[in-house]
A and B are shown apart, each in its own frame.
Chain A
Amino acid sequence: MNLLDAVLFLPLAGFLTLLFVPREREETIRRLALGFASVTFVLSLGLAVGYRAGGEFAFVTDKPWIRSPEIRYHVGLDGLSLWLVLLTTLLTPIGVAVSWNYIRKRVKEFYALFLLLEFGLVGVFVALDLILFYVFWEVSLVPMYFLIGVWGHERRIYAAVKFFLFTMAGSVLMLAAIIYLYTYAGTFDYAELLRLQASGNLAFRRTEGLLLFLGFFLAFAIKVPLFPLHTWLPDAHVEAPTAGSVMLASVMLKMGCYGLLRFLLPLFPQASRECAPWIVALAIAGIIYGALVALVQPNMKKLVAYTSVSHLGFVVLGIFTFTPLGADGAVYQMINHGISTAMLFLVVGMLAARGGSSRIADYGGVATPAPNLATVFMITALASAGLPALNNFVGEYLVLQGTARVNLRWAVLAATGIILAAAYMLWLYQRVFFGPAPESVRDRVYDLKKREWAAMAPLVVLMVWLGVASETFLPAIRQTNALILERARASGEVRVELSLPLEEARP
């Protein structure tokens, strides 16, 4: 049992512990949940410290789980999963902290499910066996379904069921593809599949490869979500409780992006390339569409939800440029989006909890009663709009540069998304924080409380850190992406403009 196993199973232990605490002892339940989540986070910091860029996977555990057909408990960490795991373990205690006063009913179930969710999410990012991956993929679905459906807002049931069914529809096709792959390759093990791929023993007929690709792709595209499969997202985000929205937007959406890079590119290089132009077109459509819809949203939560559609378009675009710059930018953008969107949902959630509404029209002049809240929101809005020296700038810049090297027109189109981002963010800021304050705002809105500060401060620090010192994070990402792109390039012909020199000499 190594550190990664501990990080993975500690939330599960927390879940099981909470089940045995009597429901009346709500304060104990909250403290226990925060304790488990915090310890998990501290342990996961050890992963970042102990991680050495170099080999393929670190902190590997590989044990048989089920004998026939062989399914292994095979987990490991590389530059792609490292930061996503940290993002999850960081946001879980924050989610627990911000729910402290807002979740008043069914406290025990809420925190138990929240820890179960963390277990599923960490598992998705570290699983190196396809069935294990699928298991975690589905396990993370169930708690989120309950979080939205039980503790959400008015249309929560509709949103929860829609969320579940969309994901389920995608994932059954992925399951079919996984099993088909097994009948073909005789293994579910990711490392083993890569070995077969490298030795040329995993060559598909064209249609076969395309169908397998589509099976995986649909599941991931729904989760990202890629335009036009995004319709579950605004509903789910708007109806979920704040902590749920945070986990959903910041971590769950990354499951799809992660899957694209981890599984699709290396396992189906040819089909990936063949479909790339279509996927890029959808990604750019999503960038512009998401931004335009965000511009006209009367509801803050919905606005933030649509910014996700736009920002995640950048991630998909970066991945399907097949360039190191694009892929690095995409991974960086996953982390950025995780942090800035978490911040946006936290701030909007705090505002809504104070003012009792998330309609923009109900607010105005919030900066006067709540100057600190306004400052934090300002930083977040600027980050989200891609201001240099803040996190999103780095990711978007890398993606656009990577895209420009492949196709300048794509880059120009995608860049309009950044301009629109500045427009919707600043306009939102102006309408909510400046201008005359309606009575409800003057009476009810107060500034940040201590616990809220504690929850947001680390995220603000990270936004600046990611913005000015990208070299803390990029080497690990770069090294892993180089391997993934090499595999994506290995079979099939190499187009000249795609084979740019890597930033670092590969080992």
Chain B
Amino acid sequence: MTHSFVPTGVELLRLSPEILLVLAGTLLLVLEGLTGAKRGRELGRLALVALGAALLASLAAARQPGLAFSGSISADGFATFFRLVVIAAGLLVALFSGPYLRRESAERGEYYALLLYSVAGQCLMASANELIVLFIALETSSIASYVLAGYLRADRRANEAAVKYFLLGSFASAFLLYGIALIYGEAGSTWLGQIRAALAGPPGSATPLAGAAAAFLFAGFAFKVSAAPFQVWAPDVYQGAPAPVAAFLSAGPKAAAFAGLLRVFMTAFEPVSASWEGIVWVSALATMIVGNLAALLQSNIKRLLAYSSIAHAGYVMVAVTAHSSIGTAAAMFYLAAYVFMNVGAFAVVSYFARQGERYVHVDDLAGLAWRQPVVAALLSLLLLSLIGVPLTGGFFGKFYVFTAALEAGLVWLTVLGLLNSAVAAYYYLRILVVMYMREPSEAAADLAAPPAPVRAALWASALATLILGIFPSTVLEYASKAAALAP
């Protein structure tokens, strides 16, 4: 490994999305200071431009794949895939945040700056090839999102959510750091490739330390993706945080944490997979069951979507359990589909909730289909995708995940997982029932047509869901190529 401290041009290109996002975030803060707090709308547009530019930068970086910064950054297909996913999630959220924040008279540059920082952290997490960089990336993403969760300072629910998220999140970070320390003790390196080489000795040569490190790292990641038994924060935080922030938390940080988890466990810890496979198996099953059963009982739609997002983390965890390149590709596809359907569903929630989030109960949606038929139809498509009905991205996500699981011989996990998805149908159906089969409630009655940004975000997510459901080949093939992670 050559240790040159002056980065070359191509190295900067490989890190360009992150650099761009951080610079744009800082620019927003500076501009906000210069122009006063009245120009939130313009700053929001600037954030959209920055995210669009980061999207292009990721594509540009993908044309020059390779390592950067002494091998601590790997701008490979895997990184590109997740960069695109998290930036797209950020873009959609930034899009429909505007109307929400204006309604709450809270549209300021700092919101968008925090969003950009968090997305930058997530991009870095997707490309980190070294544990310290990974940790910094995770913290960048997390700290920005703690603040976002409590962004509406005057709202007590949001305060509670932020404090809870921060305290529990700090524990998780500590776990992660502890795992990194342990594996450094075992392997003498924090570079994933070197750890792999150190662990890949003759069978039985790895000490229990490697297994403990894997367990601690797993716990840290499991918190971030809200996998059982580290999922308890998610419902409270999603419920308390402003709806667009809840959408963001359920998409970007989760996808990025899975990116980190997959890269670390598929490269560094692959040689000792026997020591963690069982843990992931149990966690996958428990996550699906906890998420789905608890979601059955929810009447608050944000809480319901929170438990649903826990359940979906469980499905992705099934693909992780398979620990094969097919499994990794399946997890990538699933997360891409999940981000669109979930963010789209939250876009409707944030639009429907009205000022002060008055209408966040499932029953409030009664009769929505006959007041705003297009919104209801698009939301139905997203919900059917969350159920996993064919011709939506959600179906192929589940299909690929369980194909990978069966290829790996995980018959029971597959059967139980699929039965879980049948149970899950019930709570998504409840939303459909309320929207289509009940007479309009007062909440739906005086609902104005969705503002253009919400419409755009909703259409974009619905179309992406549909495209992933009818022509999944392109995305899956890209994921399959990218999933063969070079150690």
Contacts and interface: CB of A to CB of B under 8 A. Distances in A.
Contacts of A182: 403, 406
B437 interface: yes
B72 interface: no
Given A142-B384, A165-B426, A169-B422, A157 B414 contact: no
Nearest to A175: B418
Contacts of A69: 403
A21 interface: no
A168 B414 contact: no
A252 to B, nearest CB: 16
A174 to B, nearest CB: 9
Given A146-B436, A180-B411, A68 B403 contact: no
B105 interface: no
A135 B49 CA distance: 39
B415 interface: yes
Contact of B407 (A156, A165, A183): A183
A462 to B, nearest CB: 33
Nearest to A137: B390
A67 interface: yes
Contacts of A138: 389-390, 395
A292 B419 CA distance: 34
Given A146-B436, A183-B407, A169 B419 contact: yes
A66 B389 contact: no
Contacts of B432: 145, 149
Contact of A172 (B373, B422, B471): B422
A69 B373 CA distance: 36
A106 B402 CA distance: 38
B473 A66 contact: yes
Contacts of B425: 164-165, 168
B468 to A, nearest CB: 11
A179 B403 contact: yes
A482 B168 CA distance: 66
Given A150-B437, A160-B433, A135 B390 contact: yes
Given A164-B429, A168-B425, A180 B406 contact: yes
A411 interface: no
B450 to A, nearest CB: 18
Contacts of B387: 168
Interface in A113-161: 131, 134-135, 138-139, 141-142, 145-146, 149-150, 156-157, 160-161
A500 interface: no
A130 B307 CA distance: 32
Interface residues on A, range: 20 to 34
Contacts of B419: 169, 172-173
Contact of A175 (B369, B399, B426, B437): B399
A168 B373 CA distance: 26
Interface in B415-453: 415, 418-419, 421-422, 425-426, 429, 432-433, 436-437
Nearest to B424: A168
Given A67-B477, A138-B389, A175-B418, A161 B429 contact: yes
B476 interface: yes
Chain B: interface size category? 20 to 34
Interface string A54-68: 000000000000111
Contacts of A164: 425, 429
A176 interface: yes
Interface in A1-52: 23
A90 to B, nearest CB: 26
Contacts of A135: 390-391, 395
B233 interface: no
B429 A67 contact: no
Contacts of B436: 146, 149-150
B480 interface: yes
Interface in A371-398: none
A463 B391 CA distance: 37
Interface string B382-409: 0010010111000100010011001100
A150 to B, nearest CB: 5
Contacts of A23: 373
B52 interface: no
Contacts of A134: 390
A149 B429 CA distance: 11
Nearest to B403: A179
Nearest to A23: B373
B437 A183 contact: no
Interface in A156-198: 156-157, 160-161, 164-165, 168-169, 172-173, 175-176, 179-180, 182-183
Contact of B389 (A142, A146, A169, A179): A142
Given A169-B422, A179-B403, A183-B406, A68 B389 contact: no
Contacts of B69: none
B276 interface: no
B370 interface: yes
B370 A106 contact: yes
A161 B472 contact: no
7 contacts: A109-B369, A145-B429, A157-B437, A165-B425, A165-B426, A172-B418, A180-B414
Interface of B: 369-370, 373, 384, 387, 389-391, 395, 399, 402-403, 406-407, 411, 414-415, 418-419, 421-422, 425-426, 429, 432-433, 436-437, 471-473, 476-477, 480
Closest 8 CB pairs of A and B: A135-B390, A172-B418, A169-B422, A168-B422, A149-B437, A172-B422, A67-B473, A138-B390
Given A135-B395, A157-B433, A180-B414, 12 more contacts: A66-B472, A67-B477, A109-B369, A139-B389, A141-B389, A149-B437, A168-B425, A169-B419, A173-B415, A176-B402, A180-B406, A180-B411
Interface of A: 23, 66-69, 106, 109, 131, 134-135, 138-139, 141-142, 145-146, 149-150, 156-157, 160-161, 164-165, 168-169, 172-173, 175-176, 179-180, 182-183
